[in-house]
Amino acid sequence: MTVSFPYSKNVNFPERYISPEKLFSYLQENYSDQIKEIGKSSLGKPIYMLTLGNGKTRVAGWSQMHGNESTATLAMLDLLQIFEKHPELKEKLFSLIQLDFIFMLNPDGSETWSRRNAYDIDLNRDFIRNSSTEMRILKSVVLNGNYNYLLNLHDQRTIFTTDGSHPATLSFLASSENVERDVTENRKKSMAVISAIYMQMKHILPNRIAKYTDEFYPTSSGDNFMKSGIPSILFEGGFYENDLDRNKTREFYTHALYYALKAMSVLKGDTLSYETYFDIPQNRESHFDLIYRNVKLNTEFECIMDIAVQYREILDENSKLTYQPYVIEVGDLNHKKGWKEIDCTDKKFVSVKKFPKLDSLVDFVIE
Ligand SMILES: [Zn+2]
């Protein structure tokens, strides 16, 4: 019988936003003999790698390559604290594997809650060009480290579902290494790990685990590391119902990270049961955060439309993450769904504007 994973949140990091300075001092205070500065960001912030274990199977992972995707960093912090409380969970695992975990590869973007680095470079499209100092640091660690597996850890938007109604709270990908998306040996090794995570988690997170598109991205890191011969696994933390702050997602992400490491320690490059990967549903783009249905504008002619809203995540002056509603689409949205829907039939659209302008903050009310 499998014992359920004793999840608890790392109390030092209660929020989705993580200040780089706070992370750095936490790592220095608690893990000084296991961390190493592997380089500096564009603006001179340190980039730290934490090493756990001394097993034969070598794993490298990195979080916050995109600064506004903190769930993996939080999941790793949770996992560290869970290991402190339950040393039995880590002892066997870390006799079999060595994990090199790069926290916050993009600390400049993380500081300002932006996807890109300080020079507006998307690190995940910089593998070939090497414009960013952060990508050069990642490549030098990964390509010289004799790794058996890589964990490329991200968050995805709230728009994805597994089946058109349940959110894709976690999506995984065994990245393609060519345009043909061939199922190569390295992909099979990644698929076997993802299959193991899926089998462990499909009952605790039913209908909310998906596969990310395996379209080949010629300049991205997962695809190119896979191409260079290292099985790479992409994680995408997504939405969970009524959880914009991603607390539930964080919890499941932590589970997934643990099960990934466990699977790697057991599989050691084996492709056992990789076929299960093909049973995992594909990400579907089906949802908006909010849809106002059947809104009648105050026009002389009749004009009834649906209005879709997405929340933009904006850091306020006190470094608190806020969710600002933006009009993202208008018109006939019958083919789409909203995590929240408001029927506006027989109600009034009240605004200084004649119509809800695209890409603008919601400034109307429905009465
Ligand atoms: Zn990302």
65 alpha carbon to ligand 1 midpoint, in Å?
7
365 alpha carbon to ligand 1 midpoint, in Å?
34
Would you state the pLDDT for residue 4?
Answer: 79
Are the CB atoms for 34 and 50 separated by under 8 Å? yes
Would you state the pLDDT for residue 319?
Answer: 95
Residue 52 in this model has a pLDDT that exceeds 90: yes
Residues 29 and 178 in one domain: yes
Residues 199 and 331 in one domain: no
Residues 294 and 244 in one domain: no
154 alpha carbon to ligand 1 midpoint, in Å?
4
Would you state the pLDDT for residue 119?
Answer: 98
Which of 244, 266, 285 is the C-terminal boundary of a domain? 285
272 within domain boundaries: yes
Residues 273 and 303 in one domain: no
3 alpha carbon to ligand 1 midpoint, in Å?
32
CA distance 104 to 106: 5
Residues 221 and 247 in one domain: yes
Residues 273 and 318 in one domain: no
Residues 276 and 297 in one domain: no
115 alpha carbon to ligand 1 midpoint, in Å?
7
Which of 227, 261, 285 is the C-terminal boundary of a domain? 285
- φ, ψ of residue 88 in degrees (nearest 5): -65, -25
Mean pLDDT of 257-280: 98
Return mean pLDDT, the chain: 97
Residues 181 and 129 in one domain: yes
196 within domain boundaries: yes
The distance from CA 345 to its chain's CA centroid, rounded to whole angstroms, is 37
66 alpha carbon to ligand 1 midpoint, in Å?
5
The distance from CA 217 to its chain's CA centroid, rounded to whole angstroms, is 17
CATH of the domain at 321: 2.30.40.10
14 within domain boundaries: no
pLDDT digits (tens, 9 = 90+) for 159-200: 999 999 999 999 999 999 999 999 999 999 999 999 999 999
Residues 218 and 332 in one domain: no
155 alpha carbon to ligand 1 midpoint, in Å?
5
Q: Please provide the DSSP assignment of 35-103 as one string.
A: EEEEEE-TTS-EEEEEEE---SEEEEEE--SSTT--HHHHHHHHHHHHHHH-HHHHHTHHHHEEEEEEE
Residues 276 and 323 in one domain: no
Burial of 245 from C-beta contacts in 10 A (0-12 / 13-18 / 19+): middle
Which of 285, 315, 338 is the C-terminal boundary of a domain? 285
355 alpha carbon to ligand 1 midpoint, in Å?
33
156 alpha carbon to ligand 1 midpoint, in Å?
7
Split into its structural domains, the chain has a count of 2
CATH of the domain at 142: 3.40.630.10
Residues 183 and 219 in one domain: yes
4 within domain boundaries: no
Are the CB atoms for 39 and 135 separated by under 8 Å? no
Full residue range of the structural domain in which residue 337 is found = 287-366
105 alpha carbon to ligand 1 midpoint, in Å?
11
pLDDT digits (tens, 9 = 90+) for 13-27: 999 999 999 999 999
Residues 241 and 306 in one domain: no
349 alpha carbon to ligand 1 midpoint, in Å?
37
Residue 96 tokens read as 């079999």
